[in-house]
Structure 1
Amino acid sequence: MSVFALKILAILAMSLDHIAAVFLSPINMPYLLMRGFGRIAFPIFCFLIVEGYYHTRDVKKYMIRLAGFALVSEIPFDLCFYQKPFYWQHQNVFFTLALGLITIYAIDEIKKRFSTSYIKALVLQFAVIILAMTTAWFLSTDYSMLGILIIIAFYVGRGNIIQIAISICIVTLYLGNTFQLYSLLALIPIYLYNGKKGPSMRYVFYVFYPAHMLILYVMSSLI
């Protein structure tokens, strides 16, 4: 599967997940099936963040783009899920993805600058990860600390699907989110990744994310 195919699959899963969250009762089977399938979206986006990090021409512009769309998406996110233009207790997933990208960039920079001091590099890398997790928790970003750890799992285990699966299982169970184990299904299409980009759709997801939440909010308001 190409990057394009993975993005389409993730967008579909995310859309079904959000439709269920907005319109369905949590006690029925369609809700559970749609939200269970929706769990595959975030790991795919995490995987694509890591791949994007390795292939981008300008990682700093990549960070700014993610952070910018995090801000743009926040009001649609709050309206869709909390019916308020500003809901400070929960921030959208772009914040988590941006934090994760910043974290793996910082880890790489530490490796380069302290290549002759393994212990110092390890301590600083650990400090960066803790800081990123704390920031995600403090801001109440979507997926919070779990999201940061999943991005790091894809970064550390890049190319080793078994290591990534074990890492996701460990952090998911440790943080007590057993429903998120459905996210392991995302490793099937990720394993089928062929390293090709496919048709370019850099901004399609960025625009689709806030746009589809605004549409869901308007639809839910009319029902």
Structure 2
Amino acid sequence: MEEKKLEAKKGLTGFQIKLIAMILMVFDHIHAYLNYNKNIPIQFKWVGRIVAPLFIFMTVEGYYHTRNKKKYMIRLYIAQLIMSIGNNFLDKFFPRPDGVMLISSMFKTLFLIVVYLSIVDFLRDAFKDKNISKVLLGIGFLTIPILLSFVIMINISNLPILFIRIFMLLVPMPLFVEGGIVFIAIGIVLYLFRDNKTKQVISYIIMSIVIMLSSGNFSVQSLLYTNFQWMMIFAAPLMYLYNGEKGRGMKYLFYIFYPAHIYLFHMISYYMLTR
């Protein structure tokens, strides 16, 4: 019995994976916000490619394990709303001379992933009950946000700027969030295969390879210095090492650290560029 307990503790806890992601996120954002002199090595961006997939992975786990999925969804929505307001505030009162704006808000993506996972659950129940009307309703829930995104994108030049800003602030849309449909699809796939770790990781690796192939340019120069999003594949080993345990608490650490360190880097860059 004792040996089984020790075996269950091997690997990485959810807290450890989040901590690794947060450290690598700092490197990524150092390059994003403090590279105005072009002296930050590109490798900082490379390691940053595995950050979003790890947070998506842990959001899927959080959604699965939470006792109150509605509350979890609301918490992410409030987080994205607060960060969006903060981004607009800093862009308005501390604008960088080089025009770089605060557009980061992974909270929007994570919120939409949770929304889509709830739709997946709805569809599962509908198929299980063989309820055609609910199946069609679920398919509508899946497609309407994407179609609405296309409508807004096509007509964006004809819409009032104030309306666009308020709408984008209050209603995250699949085509306008960080990572777009690709990151949302990753979340759905990780959720669908979460009961089989091998299939889950293999499906994620396949998606990473597809992203590389979709770049259309397979030269070493391109894959290492331009189209390097495929490097998200290196998140797979960490996902595989996840032992299913939550680890330490500190539930709100990421909610606070994520916007706080970005705003700190933005203020540093604003001061350096305007002094």
With normalisation by structure 2, the TM-score equals: 0.69
Matches within 5 A, 1:19-34: 19-24=30-35, 30-34=40-44
The alpha-carbon deviation at position 31 of structure 1 amounts to: 3.4
Counting aligned pairs with the same residue, the percent is 32
1:62 aligns with 2:100: no
Residue 166 of structure 1 corresponds to: 206
Cα distance in 1 for residues equivalent to 2:37 and 2:129: 53
CA distance 1:125–1:39, change in 2 (3 Å): farther
Deviation above 2 Å: which 4+ runs of structure 1? 25-28, 75-80, 82-85, 87-91, 116-135, 167-178
- Aligned partner (choices 17, 27, 32) of residue 28 of structure 2: 17
**Number of corresponding residues:** 218
Q: What root-mean-square deviation, in Å, do the aligned CA atoms of Structure 1 and Structure 2 show? A: 3.0
1:6 aligns with 2:6: no
CA distance 1:15–1:155, change in 2 (3 Å): same
CA distance 1:32–1:91, change in 2 (3 Å): closer
With normalisation by structure 1, the TM-score equals: 0.84
Cα distance in 2 for residues equivalent to 1:132 and 1:41: 25
Matches within 5 A, 1:15-164: 15-24=26-35, 30-77=40-87, 79=90, 84=95, 90=103, 92-117=105-130, 126-133=139-146, 134=149, 135-137=173-175, 140-158=176-194, 159=197, 160=199, 161-164=201-204
AA of the residue aligned to 1:60: K
CA distance 1:178–1:106, change in 2 (3 Å): same
CA distance 1:118–1:91, change in 2 (3 Å): farther
Cα distance in 2 for residues equivalent to 1:25 and 1:38: 18
Gaps of 5+ in 1: none
Larger deviation, residues 161-170 vs 43-52? 161-170
* Other structure's SS at 2:128 match: coil
The alpha-carbon deviation at position 130 of structure 1 amounts to: 3.4
Residue 217 of structure 1 corresponds to: 266
> Computing the radius of gyration over CA atoms, which structure comes out larger, 1 or 2?
2
Larger deviation, residues 181-190 vs 127-136? 127-136
The alpha-carbon deviation at position 74 of structure 1 amounts to: 1.6
CA distance 1:132–1:147, change in 2 (3 Å): farther
The alpha-carbon deviation at position 14 of structure 1 amounts to: 1.2
CA distance 1:26–1:6, change in 2 (3 Å): farther
